[in-house]
């Protein structure tokens, strides 16, 4: 399996599939998952002749379980090293949830010299937590309860998230997929306890407002209007207004994991945006 040795000696796991000479699409996963979360999209675009790249963030999946550096600035520095290592240019970046924040912060910090387009799927930008200036955000007490549940029984907490709000399986009449639940839970449990805990603060309290304003390339925002994890009104609806070249598509009834439950539709939207 391919690994990149990072500046601090940590190993970063990545996948590189498809046509090595094709246009590049990169994927940044959400909390507390891994690159496996995007396997459907990666396989689909690889079959279409694209070069697809995804990594497990430090602390996640098969990457090193570092004690420090479980924060957005470290994550994007790692990603910059990966892009340099793999000679990524003229790419389209795709990020889900916290990975959407990673895409926004990467472009805000490093610019768009390597990237031509971006897609935020159920992304956390501009800001998740409720503040005086962000009335539509989620109260901090919710994330305090996440931290408490992680410390008390992480395995059960992650199972509850996957079985309920992440996929909308707690909605009346929802058809549960035991496979999706188990796959999500497995990814979450492969992430280190420390990264799981630290990233609750990172994804909820990092403000991406200024990053979004600086992104001078086309950005497609995909968001479900029944996202119980990162509500559309507080995230996708605001992000598209801050992006200079933002384009929005709302998935009616869509949950937080639209790239998993609405994979065919998301795949088509990604391909159409690539080709546009």
- Bridge partners (DSSP) listed for residue 51: 18, 24
Q: How far apart are CA 106 and CA 28, in angstroms?
A: 11
What is the C-alpha separation between 114 and 85, in angstroms, rounded? 13
Q: Does residue 113 have an active-site annotation?
A: no
Q: Which of 34, 37, 74, 97 is catalytic?
A: 97
239/125 Cα distance (integer angstroms): 6
Catalytic residue (one of 35, 256, 259, 269): 256
The CA-atom distances, in angstroms, between 169 and each of 26, 45, 230, 246, 253 are: 29, 28, 16, 30, 12
How many other CB atoms are found less than 10 A from the CB of residue 49? Answer: 11
Strands in 11-18's sheet, in edge-to-edge order, are 3-5, 11-18, 51-55, 24-28, 91-96, 115-121, 219-224, 246-251
Catalytic residue among 56, 202, 211, 227: 227
Could you please report the per-residue DSSP string of 162-174?
A: HHTTTTTTTSTT-
Helical packing angle, 178-190 and 140-163, nearest 10° = 130
Residue 272 annotated as catalytic: no
CB 30 within 8 A of CB 97: yes
Residue 227 annotated among the catalytic residues of the structure: yes
Sign of the Cα torsion 18, 21, 22, 24 reads positive
Helical spans, DSSP H, in the chain: 39-47, 72-86, 98-110, 140-163, 178-190, 193-205, 209-214, 236-242, 258-261, 263-275
* Cβ-contact 122, 232 below 8 angstroms: no
Annotated catalytic residues are 97, 227, 256
């Amino acid at each position: 399996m391919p690994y990149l040795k990072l500046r601090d000696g940590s190993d970063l796991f990545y996948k590189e599939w498809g046509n090595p000479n094709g246009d590049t699409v990169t994927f940044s996963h959400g909390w507390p998952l891994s690159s496996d979360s995007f396997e459907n999209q990666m396989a689909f675009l690889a079959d279409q002749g694209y070069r697809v790249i995804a990594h497990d963030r430090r602390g996640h999946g098969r990457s090193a379980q570092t004690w420090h550096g479980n924060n957005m600035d470290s994550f994007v520095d790692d990603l910059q090293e990966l892009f340099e290592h793999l000679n990524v240019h003229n790419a389209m970046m795709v990020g889900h949830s916290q990975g959407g924040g990673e895409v926004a912060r990467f472009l805000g910090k490093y610019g768009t010299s390597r990237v031509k387009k971006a897609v935020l799927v159920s992304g956390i930008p501009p800001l998740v937590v409720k503040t005086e200036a962000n009335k539509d955000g989620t109260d901090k007490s919710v994330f305090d309860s996440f931290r408490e549940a992680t410390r008390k029984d992480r395995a059960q907490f992650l199972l509850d998230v996957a079985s309920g709000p992440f996929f909308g399986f707690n909605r009346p009449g929802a058809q549960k997929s035991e496979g999706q639940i188990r796959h999500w839970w497995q990814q979450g449990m492969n992430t280190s306890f420390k990264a799981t805990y630290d990233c609750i603060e990172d994804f909820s309290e990092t403000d991406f407002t200024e990053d979004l304003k600086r992104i001078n390339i086309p950005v497609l925002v995909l968001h479900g209007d029944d996202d119980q994890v990162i509500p559309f009104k507080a995230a996708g609806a605001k992000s598209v207004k801050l992006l200079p070249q933002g384009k929005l598509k709302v998935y009616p009834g869509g949950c937080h994991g639209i790239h998993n439950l609405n994979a065919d539709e998301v795949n088509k939207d990604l391909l159409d945006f690539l080709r546009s």
